[in-house]
Amino acid sequence: MESRKRQLSDVASEDFETKRLKVDVKENVNEYSNDSFDDFCSTILKNSPGKRKPIYPLFLSVRQYRFSEDIPRQRSQKIHLEDVDDDDDSFDTPATSSKVLPTPKKSTIKDSGVAGFPCLFDDDNVVYLTVTKVDKREEGCIDLECVDKQRKTRVIYLQDQWAELDVEVGNAINLIAPQVWGNDDYIVNNQKGIVILNPNALVSCTAVASATFCARKTILNEKFKFGNASNKAMLLGNIVHEIFQTAITNKKRPLVDSDLLKIWTTQAPKYAEDLVALSFTPTCLDAELQPYFSVICNWINKHYPTSTGLFTKREPLPSKSQLLEVHDIEENIWDSKLGLKGKVDVTMRTKSKKGMESLELKTGKSSQSSEHAGQVLLYCMMQSSRYEQPIGPGNILYLKDGISRCVNPRAPELSGILQQRNMLSVSFEDPTTNKLPAPRQDSRFCGKCDHKVMCSFYQKNEEKFVKSNDSLKDFAEREMAHLEQSHMDYASNWIRWISAEWKCERERVQVQNKDLWLKSIEERVEEKTCISDLHSISEEISNSQRVIITFSRKSTVTDSPFRPGDVCLLSNKKNVAIAFTVIDFVSDDVIKISSDKTVKCRYDAPFHLDKYTSMSTHSTTLGNLVYFLQNDEIGMRLRNVLVDLLPPAIVDINGANISAAVKKIIIKAKLNNEQRRAVVHALATEDYMIVEGLPGSGKTTLISVLIQCLVATNKKVLLTAFTHSAVDNILGKLTKEVSNEKILRLGSSSTIKDDVRTLTLKSKLEGETSEDYYVAVRRVMKTTVVGLASFPFGIQLFQPIVACTCHHVPRELLFSYRHFDVVIIDEASMVLEPLLLPVLATSKKFVLVGDCQQLTPLVVSRKAKQEGASISTMEKLQKNHPTAVVSLTSQYRMNRELSALSSKLFYENRLICGNEAVSRSSLDRSGSYAVPIDLDGNFCFDHIRKALSGDIADSCVFLDTQSPINHSMQCENGESCGMNNDGEAKIISELCQRFIESGVKPNEIGVMSAYRKQVDHIRNVVKNEDLEVNNGKSIIYTRTLFFQVNTIDSYQGREKRVIIWSLTWTDNSDKKSELLRDERRINVALTRARQKLVVVGCKKSAESIPVLYRFSQLLTNHLTVPH
């Protein structure tokens, strides 16, 4: 870099001509000068990193330098060149030089609409660069060495406010209309050019605007998602917004209050849960909404009297434009040029040269808020970029008092708000960073801040108050006074570990949202993350007010990358991320999606769908730590249990008072002695207890009986588990004994099993679609809770049993006001401890059920795992308080041969068969299993017959593929992660066919692998080799409809009559076999089969892994695949 920099001290001695140009102030002011936010400029500039003052009137110094091509790129002082004569070459060649520098190609200058600010829709003005070197100079400037898309090196000189950017090597930057310096370099300063740092990190307009008040709060809000509570202002704001947006698109004019009331009536069902949480009655809410109705009607009737007829007289908007039509509602804009994203409340097509204008709705009273104005300015810029129009004004309407104002864009404010966005982008680009902006140096505002706990924690424990003044330090000390150092160390460790996990996922995820603009459609289609060439056939409104859009595709998609329930982004050639959608149906030539908006009339075909990657789980998990840090009863209880490890109160099981109703339930369930002891202990405990349930020991049955007993004693129960299948399996048993009216299943219907879907709130209210929804809910309540009909939305409030996954609890509004007598957590050994914090916060008593010898919490970061992140709450408490543990060792799943393997390898021979029938179970003894005599196929008859043997002695067989000499059986490494083994996949396909021919039903066969890529490969092999299977019954089985092929981890808690396990990995691979070295994962694999387990893999490779070597030594049935 130094060898190529231009030495300006040498240049100074050469001839140059300086011109002083005085620029009239009026030329720098946009034509819309009657801005109601005239004081906004000083606010933005004061809070922007540059803290610069308005730059007009200006004196621009224009110097015509002469350079030799040999002069290096170096400067000894700040460059005072503010502009270059547009009528001349950028640089003239001195007379002494025989070389002539090429003149940069000029592009037609397009009008930005704002004097002193560049055009945002001229792509020729934008340069995308990656920083390779950063040189921060003493005079307050920054020199950046970068490479462009063609890998050509360029030097960027940042001056004035742009020199305050926190740029690092590896950052991406967009330069918009920079000053060309020579042929390869650029200058950006207050007068020329804009820098967008980390443009691929799209920062929301709301976040940028809110950072005007406190940037630290903005970042904390993104990184720590905490709180599932609603509030009155938020609820009213959402409802009023939607009423306005629906009303303005309604054709009826003039609008009156009763019209808005009808709109609200149709929208009321979706707000039922919020109304429950806030104890709002319909009458009360109608009264709250009434003042807004007149404002909405007056504004729409005045500015948009009809949705048709361009010559109808209408009053101009605050921007002086005339509203022609509403183009979109909640328009979703992702702008990678500016690094911004946002949703515009109302996008209006206006009668002006600016074209589209935004209308931002605010529920409160009118104010001179710089946050509100800043948000609108960002929308103005994004609309200019999307619609290729000059930057025009924006509009704000305050719905409380009906005041509407215009926000006129001016260059200083626009640059200032973009610089504010740049400052935030550092954290948005890498949310795992532990660096936060300095807090607002005024503690008066901290007391009511939603993030005061985490902010104070960072100030004291992470930053040691280096960013805080004395008042902030005093405030933070008071907020953290209740915590011991061990408590803060606990939170600090988990922040570090979760951030490490977040970083690992960002690095390994194959589908990234930035691919939408960094990769072509063709590339994404090739990578199977996108489906293109979609044309809308029809749009219809569903009962839930979602838009169902059906697309056709001219060329069929035989292997669609999407499945029902997948979240996708809908785009067209011109606009990225028009809408978030959910896949409802997929076939070879038709795709049906649900969306919150119509697209057919607003956007041009063809469309394409891209997979959407969300990493919000990590920010929610981090936010859960607030439960632990808070100074309240819940926080104290969590600290006592998880850090101080206080023991639970001792329980005297023998002296427990068991009611007759409970005894009746236990007797009816025919529990064994261990299960009875566990139920009684759980009923008697005052704090918590642990049920260690070995594989097949009846944990699901136990939990079902325990819930029945708790409900019989008038207790409210929360049932959670790590997976949906575990929750639904328990509910499947429970519904046979407990009325459905007493159970509420929370979560998305697409993730819930069909047989328990009737337990969801949606199902309970199905058919209640009339406008009198409140009355319909009251009617449901009368049959559900006697004597509480006056409370209209009591369905959730009074269900004694609520069930969902652990992940759902921090997102569910119900848990902001519901508390339970007991919470039961199944699969507790699999749950990351921070995920349990909001679950444990719902009750003073909890029961953990699981098996610490099976899967632990999934932790990808090796460092985090080594430091203890994978130790579950159950494992920690079980180790420290063994008296709180009841073990279930009698299993009712595997026969004696299969049970013995796991018992010897992992349980010190504690795992035993529960009865003789289970012990002797085998394929042969079922009476319907018989291996055909005349087997044909690709394998030697003797070996394949042995693998299919139904004899109990052959319950577990190892089919050795001999990969060292049979190269077709060697694994193949993927380009990024994972591996597959085509030879094993074909063997498994053959085995499945033969098992079916022998009498095993397809849905009784399970296929597993530790590797996701092998699972996908086996599915494809089975799909491509569908064969007719005729076992004398003339039945054709399509295996893709019946076989369950999944990862070992997904099989936790499940069982099949026959399990076929693909080891996949062979020692020719340059990748380590980390997944197969996890003994707990191997335990899961060995304990899923009831009667037959076939392991397919290379014996030599497997025996290089200690746990598989021990397993191999226990087996006597080793078969080999001929080569």
3-class DSSP string for 891-917: ECCCCHHHHHHHHHHHCCCCCEECCHH
In angstroms, the first-to-last Cα distance of the chain is 59
Across 251-258, average pLDDT: 91
Percent helix, strand, coil in the chain, to 5, is 40, 20, 45
Hey, how many other C-beta atoms are within 10 angstroms of the C-beta on 960?
A: 22
Q: What is the pLDDT of residues 302-354, one digit of tens each?
A: 999 875 544 457 899 999 999 999 999 999 999 999 999 999 999 999 988 77
Q: What is the pLDDT of residues 864-890, one digit of tens each?
A: 999 999 999 999 999 999 999 999 999
pLDDT of 448 above 50 = yes
Q: What is the pLDDT of residues 26-38, one digit of tens each?
A: 333 333 334 444 4
Tokens (6 digits) for 720: 């959670």
pLDDT grade, residue 264 (50/70/90)? confident
**Sole residue written with tokens 């028009």:** 578
Closest CA to 581 of 615, 608, 606, 601: 608
Tokens (6 digits) for 357: 């204008």
Hey, how many other C-beta atoms are within 10 angstroms of the C-beta on 397?
A: 22
Closest CA to 264 of 296, 289, 300: 289
Domains and CATH numbers, the chain: 232-419 (3.90.320), 515-614 (2.40.30.270), 649-888 (3.40.50.300), 919-1120 (3.40.50.300)
The pLDDT score that the predictor gives to residue 593 is 93
- φ/ψ of 359, rounded to 5, equals -125, 115
**Sole residue written with tokens 């003493």:** 138
Specify the length of the chain in residues: 1123
Q: What is the pLDDT of residues 696-705, one digit of tens each?
A: 999 999 999 9
Closest CA to 595 of 330, 236, 382, 274: 330
Closest CA to 414 of 373, 450, 474: 373
Hey, how many other C-beta atoms are within 10 angstroms of the C-beta on 640?
A: 12
Tokens (6 digits) for 171: 């950052």
**Which amino acid is located at 813 in the chain?**
L
Q: Where are the alpha helices (DSSP H) in 952-1098?
A: 982-997, 1012-1024, 1079-1086
pLDDT of 656 above 80 = no
3-state class (DSSP) for residue 1015: helix
Closest CA to 818 of 762, 746, 882: 746
CA-based max dimension of the chain = 109
How far CA 715 is from CA of 78, 244, 497, 742, 845, in Å, comes to 74, 44, 37, 12, 11
> Could you give the CA distance from residue 744 to residue 719 in angstroms, rounded to a whole number?
10
Q: What is the pLDDT of residues 200-242, one digit of tens each?
A: 999 999 999 999 999 999 999 999 998 777 788 888 999 999 9
Closest CA to 844 of 817, 875, 819, 865: 819
CB of 110 closer than 8 Å to CB of 122? yes
CB of 325 closer than 8 Å to CB of 349? yes
Tokens (6 digits) for 10: 């040498």
Across 919-936, average pLDDT: 82
**Sole residue written with tokens 């949310």:** 431
How far CA 385 is from CA of 112, 332, 899, in Å, comes to 10, 13, 65
Report DSSP letters for 292-355, one per residue. HHHHHHHHHHHH-S-SS-TTS--PPPTTS--EEEEEEEEEEEEETTTTEEEEEEEEEEESSTT-
CB of 40 closer than 8 Å to CB of 373? yes
> Could you give the CA distance from residue 551 to residue 562 in angstroms, rounded to a whole number?
14
Across 976-1001, average pLDDT: 89
3-class DSSP string for 507-538: HHCCCCCCHHHHCCHHHHHHCCCEEEEEEEEE
**DSSP bridge pairs for 350:** 323
Across 799-812, average pLDDT: 91
Q: pTM of the full predicted structure?
A: 0.86
In degrees, rounded to 5, the angle at the alpha carbon of residue 664 between the alpha carbons of residues 661 and 668 is 145
DSSP letter at 421 equals H
pLDDT grade, residue 1096 (50/70/90)? very high
Q: Which residue has the higher pLDDT, 131 or 613?
A: 131
**Sole residue written with tokens 């819940």:** 634
Q: What is the pLDDT of residues 150-207, one digit of tens each?
A: 999 999 999 999 999 999 999 999 999 999 988 889 999 999 999 999 999 999 999 9
CB of 531 closer than 8 Å to CB of 525? yes
Tokens (6 digits) for 497: 């570990």
> Could you give the CA distance from residue 280 to residue 287 in angstroms, rounded to a whole number?
11
pLDDT of 940 above 60 = no
The pLDDT score that the predictor gives to residue 53 is 37
Tokens (6 digits) for 686: 């005052």
pLDDT of 104 above 70 = no
The pLDDT score that the predictor gives to residue 74 is 58
pLDDT of 433 above 80 = yes
CB of 368 closer than 8 Å to CB of 406? no
H or E segment and range at residue 550: strand 547-553
Pairing of strands 394-398, 356-362: parallel
pLDDT of 68 above 80 = no
CB of 923 closer than 8 Å to CB of 728? no
Hey, how many other C-beta atoms are within 10 angstroms of the C-beta on 1112?
A: 17
CB of 804 closer than 8 Å to CB of 747? yes
> Could you give the CA distance from residue 914 to residue 524 in angstroms, rounded to a whole number?
53
Contacts of 580 (CB under 8 A, 6+ apart): 332, 567, 568, 569, 570, 595, 596, 612
The pLDDT score that the predictor gives to residue 791 is 42
